[in-house]
Structure 1
Amino acid sequence: MIAARLNRIAAAGATAHPHSRIRLADGHLITVTAGPDAEVLDEVFLAPGLTAPDAEEWSREGVTDWGLADQEHGGSLYLNVPVEAVRQLIQDHLGEHEEQDQDNFPAVRFLLNARNHRGQWRVNVEGEQVGRIYLEDGIWYARAYGSDAPVACEESEAAAARLVELADLAAGRTVTAEQALRTELAAHGVMTPHLDEDTFIGGHRNSWLVVGLSDGDFPNMQEQPYVLVTLHDPADGDEVTVERAARAADEWSTVIGTGNPSAGARAEISGRSFPGADVAAVAAYIAQWRRNPYAVRDAALVERNAVNSNT
């Protein structure tokens, strides 16, 4: 039995949302905190109705502010609990529920096995082990089976996503522009780009990705900054999409949006364009915008004004 959510939390660390919940198959809830590449969970809160085993691993009880409200109704908090002890508790309650909170863990195609004695997490894609990820000197690495060259990434989720992409390529499965860009963005810590689209009469569909200044909900484009990115073939003026594989003749286009809360309106500036094959440069540009949105916006304005003055 693979405790997939527990493994993802233990690998990535419950950092973006400090308290990550695990819903058990019998309806009980566990809430945990952890750092990345964890063998021990910092805190484990058992919601009312769930009892800890009578074992040494569960002997360190504690109290924190985030647990007080639930503790008043019978919950209990435990400190420094080994991941394997929590895994056993999950198995004793029929495993993890199929429905889990999405919070900082978006839906993915991979499953993580438990951390092995070498500190590596094996990655499963569609029932097949395709490689392993591991943390070394603060950097996550993805190593596909059959390859001696690991790929460096910033986060465990990005490393696992890279193995999914490599598995698709090895199997001859098409990697769409959206999938490729999501993988590259994840390597920069951008975890929740949002797919958006318009469908027209006759079934024609345009699609693009929208990235806000932080991960989470879709940005309010009337009030909040964002970057919109899509792919098109300059020879085909009608197609705007991220839902097929990028081709050599394609071009990535970015648009920088600046919301205006007082006016309830938004302004958009054309950002940089990139060759269809250079998805890594697109992701790096968006990551740069996230770090310093106003500098990237101002640079886009300068470039636009320079083009206008030459026409």
Structure 2
Amino acid sequence: MVRSYILLLFCVCCWGSNFVFGSILVNEFPPILLSAMRLSATSLFLIGYGWYFKKMGQLTRRDFLLLVPLGFVGTLINQASFFTGLETIDATTASLVLSLAPITVAVLAAVFLKETITRKMVIGSLIAMVGIFFVVGKSGGIKPSIGMLYILLAMVSFAISIIIMRKLTERIDPLTATVYSTVIGSSMVIPVALIKEPITHVSSHPWAWVLLFVTAILMQGLCGLIWNVQLKRIGAGKASVFLNLQPFVAMVVGFLLLGTPVTMVQIVGSLLIVGGVVLATGFKKEKSEASSGKPVTASGMIQKLPKVNG
């Protein structure tokens, strides 16, 4: 369980910094075309990963009934709305809107996956959300805009994709689900990008292309794979609580890379966010149980990434 939390924390740190990197990249590339190029790089990485480890499972027609909607909602809608929204609102505000994802996922998981919403999860999530408002407090409030609507759509589509992915991984391996859903989503985004945003207005800076491909492989490819494996391990509701950390990470990365000032109020908010996540996930309790020598059940076994056969 501790390993799962560390891996989820790694994913959220990468995704939180993605707000800052995404804001930089949309100044260098058209948003839909940027999404298409990143997804293409991600797809090639995942296909190569699956081929190398020989872990690609067989699919049935029933699997595609979930994979196609997952690719459409979790990839086309999510990526297009995310980068389009970042054209008009700042990274910190976007991270605040997306911080609604944990409670959205928890409700959807309770309805569609019959997962339990515990009192600790509710209290911890509320504490974390209070901290989130402290973190973004220096911006002077949140003003409705078309960009915010796009980010809200990105949040809802992301929450829905988590539920679909959790349902899908009950039937097939997380690696197989991740690869096929990404490839299907990419095949939907690329035609839209080529029609709406021809390949003319792209960056001439080499660093922008390096940043594009590195973030695609790391944040969408590797982190997506790790997240989906751990999603099957601990459940959608509990995993989504870690998403509350994204505004905190966006604030830190913004300070380190862009020099965005950090106030004492934001530091207090950050402590509330971290404390809320720790409470909601029950990290201390599970850690103490692991160290007490109690037997670990099959549901408590750590899911690892695929290893090379032989």
Q: Same fold (TM over 0.5)?
A: no
- Provide TM-score, normalisation by structure 1: 0.25
- Bigger RCO (CA 8 Å, 6+ sep): 2
Structure having the larger proportion of residues in helix: 2
- Provide TM-score, normalisation by structure 2: 0.25
Structure having the larger proportion of residues in strand: 1
